Amino acid sequence: MPASAESTADEVLVDHDLTGRRALVTGASTGLGEETARALAARGAEVVLAVRDPERGAAAMDRIRAGVPGAVLSQRIVELDSLGSVRAFTGAYLADGEPLDLLIANAGIMGCPQRRTVDGWEMQIGTNHLGHVALTVPLLPMLVDGGRVIVLSSAGHRFADVDLDDPNFERTDYDPWVAYGRSKTANALFARELDRRLMGRAHAYSVHPGRIVTELGRHLTREAIESLMASMTTGGEVGWKTIPQGAATTCWAATAAELDAHGGAYLEDCHVAEPTEDPVSGTGVRAYAVDPNRAAALWDRTEEWLGT
């Protein structure tokens, strides 16, 4: 049966043997990250869980092994809102020289009050975009030929295009959903330009997992939740997914052979998304989130921001 919006991660992977492959999943101690790690491990992959808290990471590995006896798992600690932590993480990984078949940039923060990262960046662009770029790019030498990078974006990219000139809201009134939208657009654009730069040696994709209740919303205030729900219901009824369904598109992006012809695409419901101008509650991707010129401009500006 073809993968669809209702598919689970296990259903997407049922015909895949991932023995001998290694996957790195950020934010893997809970929610979509944990389910993605579990599903990949169940098909034989060795999975590295990149987590903030070693105790929570160990608990996630225990839960995975309870359902997947013999799962090959390890954990590494990284805080994406600290570039120093990210540099320590990538340095240690490179020193160990472990090849990667899959790098899944799953971790994220959503709709938080105005805050700054350790390095002074607006928290959502700093964590969701800059942290993952700083982690991903140094690890590209470890990505095997034919490997894939999957970056978790969101339908929330439709809240806002990325702002290349005011990433920290220094000239713009802060809005948590505009900030989230900017960061999720940045995720999609990063995958687009990364795929171009990989030049067919490997591929990159961005993914909208669907609307799922996870710890991603742990920072939301009551007002932010009400604002989000109002925006999501404007265009029609909202379809919610379970966590196993939410992880399905990520697993499809990691393994579907037909996607070799669609490098850099934005994916949702286990298919390549079509351009749209619908509200956030619809489906599809805004043109600005997959525009190649915008993607190249963001890459250049990100290099300036990171000083690389």
Catalytic center residues: 180
At residue 46, the 3 state secondary structure works out as strand
Polymer length in residues for the chain: 308
Q: Which two structure tokens, joined as six digits, stand for 299?
A: 């890459």
Cβ atoms of 64 and 41 within 8 Å: the answer is yes
**Strands of the sheet with 46-51, listed across from one edge:** 73-77, 46-51, 22-26, 100-105, 143-152, 203-208, 266-268, 271-272
Give the closest residue to 214 by CA, choosing from 64, 49, 31, 37: 31
Cβ atoms of 104 and 65 within 8 Å: the answer is no
- Beta strand segments in the chain, E: 22-26, 46-51, 73-77, 100-105, 143-152, 203-208, 266-268, 271-272
Calpha distance 60→70 (Å, rounded): 14
Q: Which two structure tokens, joined as six digits, stand for 266?
A: 């934005």
Amino acid at residue number 280: V
Region of 110 on the Ramachandran plot (φ > 0 left; ψ -120 to 50 alpha; else beta): beta
